[in-house]
Structure 1
Amino acid sequence: MARSLFAHELIEEDKPEVLRFLAERPLHTVVMSGFVRDNGIESWLNRGTFYGCRDDLGNLEGVALIGHAMFIDARSGEALGVFARLAQDVRSTHMIMGEQETIQRFWNYYSAGGQAPRLSCREVLFEQTSSVEPFPPVPDLRPANLDDLSLIVPVHAAMAYQESGVNPLDADPDGFRMRYARRIRQERVWVWVEGGQLIFKADVISDTPDAIYLEGIYVNPDERGKGYGSRCMSQLVRSLLKRTKAIVLLVNEAHQAAQSFFQGIGFTQCGLYETIFLREQN
């Protein structure tokens, strides 16, 4: 007999239950867990709404953040269908990201509402749980400060454009700078700046006791091939593992050189992901 499932907006009182649910699969829910820990359940900073999917006994079957970016953790195909029908009415979604199999199943439901992909990319999830033999240290690797903002923002925007085909400095310049400044104030951006040049940067997108998720890893093109990326990443990972169990990041499936780089500093593959960027809806 088919189960009866229903979705509802989550509220702050649901936070402990939501965190317990997400903690069952910490590597795959690290982004949502980070949002909940940083901002709470109900916050404009999440750029979307958290929903829960429950069975007729009230048991949580799935959690989703539906908004500018969409993330889903569902225990069944039925729960994915419930979230997909909800998401079809949201016109502001820019991207959907998650485990490859989950996203493909979700898309079968979701696309029935007429949504069209603009760009799709497959990615490999990498994990590191222990420090490897350290590379030579980088004394000047440090958390960024607001004085670095003008140096970092154009680089990060260019990386976003390369990935998604949308330049955030064109689409939402003030919001993009504001969000990046907040990340800097949270000490979530690590940089090596020398002679007014950005040599290296990495962004901590989500920081939880079980996992830290990194994005935006950059080495100045003029400084590549000198081992700077390996040294900075080794030092950063070693530092971050003092407060979490695993460091995770995504690498485009087509970028074999990048995959080899991360494997060379101790990361191992632990999953396949897919990101779908959507066409703007009128």
Structure 2
Amino acid sequence: MLTVPVRQLGESERRVVERLLDRDPYAGAQVAERVAARGLAWWRAEGRILGYGPRRHVESICWLGGNLTPVLADQSAVAAFADLLCGEERICSSIVGRADAVLGLWDRLSPCWGPARDVRPNQPLLATDALPGVPVDREVRQVRAGEIDVLFPAAVAMYTEEVGVSPLVDDGGRSYRRRVTELVRAGRAYARFVDGQVVFKAELAVVTPRTAQVQGVWVDPRWRGRGIATAAMAAVVRHALLRVAPTVSLYVNDFNLPARRVYQRCGFRPVGTLATVLF
């Protein structure tokens, strides 16, 4: 039996959760954005936040919704979260977070939730607070609302290449198109257009007071190898630092060496390692 219980946290414990998230502003960014936008009420947040620790001293949390994300979870917390979750049907499409916690969870959850479609155990987490020291591509700009139809095929191509499945499978792409539309309308989607086609794209998928997290970076295969990615990415970083947040962060697969070189040129530094389990 667990001597330290796991319990679902509510709105009354929001300040405690926010303080924990502030201690890990990069790995916990997605959870922090959700809490800021919708609080901890499960019916409003489209997910639950589980807490580990004595009632008056929550030590770590775990977001359970479309993703499962542990934050500040040591081995004891991982074991406690896994014991609870193994008795529930899996609803998440991925487990993502600090590598030690994610891989520890998966070791315990795989007999209940397995098999996984893919496990990515080593994803460098990078951040920068300095303007890029390389030239920026002045043709990279925020995508306009009237350009969603042009951006969407590029977004689908990026998602399919990165995740390994098409976002069009489940509902014909309606939910994914809604997400792309939200990012465009919020001014968080960037692209470079050539002859009416997207040749580079990236989004600020997560924004908190501490960081803007870049996702969805993609270069049209026909344009790869021409050296456009560094200047294009530098343009996104520059705009985000000047207009959006005090830092820019992202994570990347360890085997994606070209992307890692681009991020290094743009001034990103390692701040940890994430892992992702995909279902």
Give the TM-score, by structure 1 length. 0.88
- Aligned residues of 1:51 and 1:66 also touching (Cα < 8 A): yes
Does the alignment pair 1:64 with 2:52? no
Distance, in Å, in 2 between the alignment partners of 1:114 and 1:199 is 38
- 1:42/1:150 Cα in 2 relative to 1: closer, same or farther (>3 Å)? farther
- What residue identity is the alignment partner of 2:196? G
Alignment match, 1:80? 78
Q: Which runs of 5+ in 1 are unaligned?
A: none
Higher mean C-alpha deviation, range 57-66 or range 2-11: 2-11
Distance, in Å, in 2 between the alignment partners of 1:195 and 1:44 is 45
- Aligned residues of 1:39 and 1:45 also touching (Cα < 8 A): yes
- Aligned residues of 1:47 and 1:69 also touching (Cα < 8 A): no
Higher mean C-alpha deviation, range 17-26 or range 193-202: 193-202
- Aligned residues of 1:67 and 1:90 also touching (Cα < 8 A): no
Post-superposition CA distance 1:102-154 (Å, at most 9, x none): 1121222222425322211231112212113240441x432223322222222
Alignment match, 2:33? 34
Distance, in Å, in 1 between the alignment partners of 2:202 and 2:174 is 21
Post-superposition CA distance 1:42-75 (Å, at most 9, x none): 36685432222231x4211211111221111134
- Aligned residues of 1:206 and 1:212 also touching (Cα < 8 A): yes
- Aligned residues of 1:35 and 1:206 also touching (Cα < 8 A): no
Alignment match, 2:275? 274
- Aligned residues of 2:7 and 2:50 also touching (Cα < 8 A): yes
Pairs aligned (count): 275
Distance, in Å, in 2 between the alignment partners of 1:136 and 1:104 is 37
Does the alignment pair 1:192 with 2:212? no
- 1:136/1:203 Cα in 2 relative to 1: closer, same or farther (>3 Å)? closer
Alignment match, 1:207? 207
Distance, in Å, in 2 between the alignment partners of 1:107 and 1:227 is 38
- What residue identity is the alignment partner of 2:257? Q
Q: CA deviation at 1:92?
A: 2.0
Distance, in Å, in 1 between the alignment partners of 2:197 and 2:42 is 36
Alignment match, 1:111? 110
Distance, in Å, in 1 between the alignment partners of 2:90 and 2:79 is 18
SS at match of 1:171: coil
Post-superposition CA distance 1:216-275 (Å, at most 9, x none): 111222333444322221122122123423211111111112211211221222222211
Distance, in Å, in 1 between the alignment partners of 2:187 and 2:126 is 23
Give the TM-score, by structure 2 length. 0.89
Post-superposition CA distance 1:194-216 (Å, at most 9, x none): 32111221111111121221111
Alignment match, 1:5? 4
- What residue identity is the alignment partner of 2:103? Q
- Aligned residues of 2:206 and 2:214 also touching (Cα < 8 A): yes
Does the alignment pair 1:96 with 2:63? no
Please tell me the root mean square deviation across aligned C-alpha atoms, in Å.
2.3
Higher mean C-alpha deviation, range 255-264 or range 220-229: 220-229
Distance, in Å, in 1 between the alignment partners of 2:273 and 2:136 is 32
Distance, in Å, in 1 between the alignment partners of 2:110 and 2:95 is 12
Alignment match, 2:247? 246
Q: Which runs of 5+ in 2 are unaligned?
A: none
- Aligned residues of 1:53 and 1:62 also touching (Cα < 8 A): yes
- 1:276/1:49 Cα in 2 relative to 1: closer, same or farther (>3 Å)? same
Alignment match, 1:259? 260
- Aligned residues of 1:141 and 1:190 also touching (Cα < 8 A): yes
SS at match of 1:60: coil
- What residue identity is the alignment partner of 1:130? A
Identical positions, percent? 23
- Aligned residues of 1:53 and 1:60 also touching (Cα < 8 A): yes
Post-superposition CA distance 1:15-37 (Å, at most 9, x none): 22211111011122111112222
Alignment match, 2:150? 151
Higher mean C-alpha deviation, range 176-185 or range 8-17: 8-17
- What residue identity is the alignment partner of 1:217? V
- What residue identity is the alignment partner of 1:60? V
- 1:6/1:29 Cα in 2 relative to 1: closer, same or farther (>3 Å)? same
User: Where does 1:50-61 land on structure 2 (aligned, <5 Å)?
Assistant: 50-55=49-54, 57-61=55-59
- Aligned residues of 1:61 and 1:76 also touching (Cα < 8 A): no
Distance, in Å, in 1 between the alignment partners of 2:181 and 2:42 is 18
Distance, in Å, in 2 between the alignment partners of 1:133 and 1:253 is 23
- Aligned residues of 2:124 and 2:270 also touching (Cα < 8 A): yes
